[in-house]
């Protein structure tokens, strides 16, 4: 595997990776399917939570990284709390909207103050730590890549919040899925292209 391939995998894994998307996304799909079949919010909640727990157990059994599985379980629990409290299936997606708002705001503020999140996350993984702070081109590269994520998070809110307000749970669930996996991979790949086209990292010796 070439250095470029290794760096690409590090970038994708740091941003969530395929397993992370499965563990956090599939339970939401199950919630939507079960709710449509039963019209029972609680039944759909238990189905989503059960699957999330099974995925976590599966990761443990395979000795995989369980970070995303645990995050997935916690995420489903929070979503379940909102939906169960109101009895409204669309409220299952409130935490997802709030999460996008939170991440989008952090990425936005970090870019404005000159400390792009991607630089803080990827710098150590790519072996440069924070040396990019002294390299204007490298810093500019991380800021440019981070704007992609700002756009992704706020685009999700701009599209999904009006649907949430309309109360159309089927449309909201479908759009949430469509703007989850596909949009993530597009943004992650675009991020990699920006980083690949940027100046090389100055590796920090041990």
pLDDT tens for residues 42-99? Answer: 999 999 889 888 888 887 787 766 666 677 788 888 999 999 998 999 999 999 999 9
What pLDDT band is residue 27 in, cutting at 50, 70 and 90? confident
Q: What is the domain partition of the chain in residue ranges?
A: 3-197
Residue 193's CB: how many other CB atoms inside 10 A? 13
Residue 100 pLDDT level (bands cut at 50, 70, 90): very high
- Of the pLDDT bands very low, low, confident and very high (cuts 50, 70, 90), residue 19 is low
pTM for this structure? 0.83
Residue-wise pLDDT for 115-124, tens only, equals 999 999 888 8
- Tokens 């699957």 correspond to 51
Nearest to 168, CA basis, from 88, 97, 99, 98: 88
The confidence score (pLDDT) of residue 135 equals 92
Q: How confident is the model at residue 137 (pLDDT cuts 50, 70, 90)?
A: very high
> How many angstroms separate the CA atoms of 147 and 142, rounded?
9
The DSSP code sequence of 151-166 is HHHHHHHHHHHHHHHH
Residue 23 has a pLDDT of 67
Give the model's confidence band at 182: pLDDT under 50 very low, under 70 low, under 90 confident, else very high: confident
| In the predicted structure, residue 101 carries a pLDDT above the cut 90 | yes
What integer is the mean pLDDT of 6-33?
Answer: 69
Band (pLDDT 50/70/90 cuts) for residue 24 is low
With vertex at residue 137, the alpha carbon angle to CA 134 and CA 142, rounded to the nearest 5 degrees, is 90
CA angle (79 as vertex; 116, 165 as ends), nearest 5: 85
What number is the average pLDDT over the span 104-109? 96
Cα–Cα dist 146/138, whole Å: 12
């Amino acid at each position: 595997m070439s250095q470029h391939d290794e760096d690409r995998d590090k970038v994708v894994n740091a941003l969530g990776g395929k397993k992370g998307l499965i563990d956090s996304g599939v339970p939401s799909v199950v919630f939507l399917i079960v709710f449509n079949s039963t019209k029972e919010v609680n039944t759909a909640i238990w189905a989503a939570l059960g699957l999330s727990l099974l995925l976590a157990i599966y990761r443990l059994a395979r000795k995989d990284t369980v970070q995303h599985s645990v995050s997935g379980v916690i995420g489903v629990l929070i979503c379940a709390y909102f939906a169960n409290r109101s009895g409204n299936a669309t409220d299952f997606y409130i935490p997802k909207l709030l999460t996008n708002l939170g991440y989008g705001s952090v990425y936005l503020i970090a870019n404005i103050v000159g400390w792009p999140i991607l630089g803080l996350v990827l710098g150590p993984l790519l072996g440069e730590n924070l040396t990019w702070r002294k390299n204007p081109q490298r810093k500019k590269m991380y800021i440019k890549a981070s704007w992609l994520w700002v756009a992704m998070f706020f685009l999700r809110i701009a599209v999904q919040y009006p649907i949430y307000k309309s109360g159309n749970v089927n449309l909201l669930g479908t759009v949430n899925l469509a703007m989850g996996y596909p949009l993530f991979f597009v943004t992650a790949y675009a991020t990699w292209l920006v980083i690949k086209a940027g100046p090389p990292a100055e590796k920090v010796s041990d």
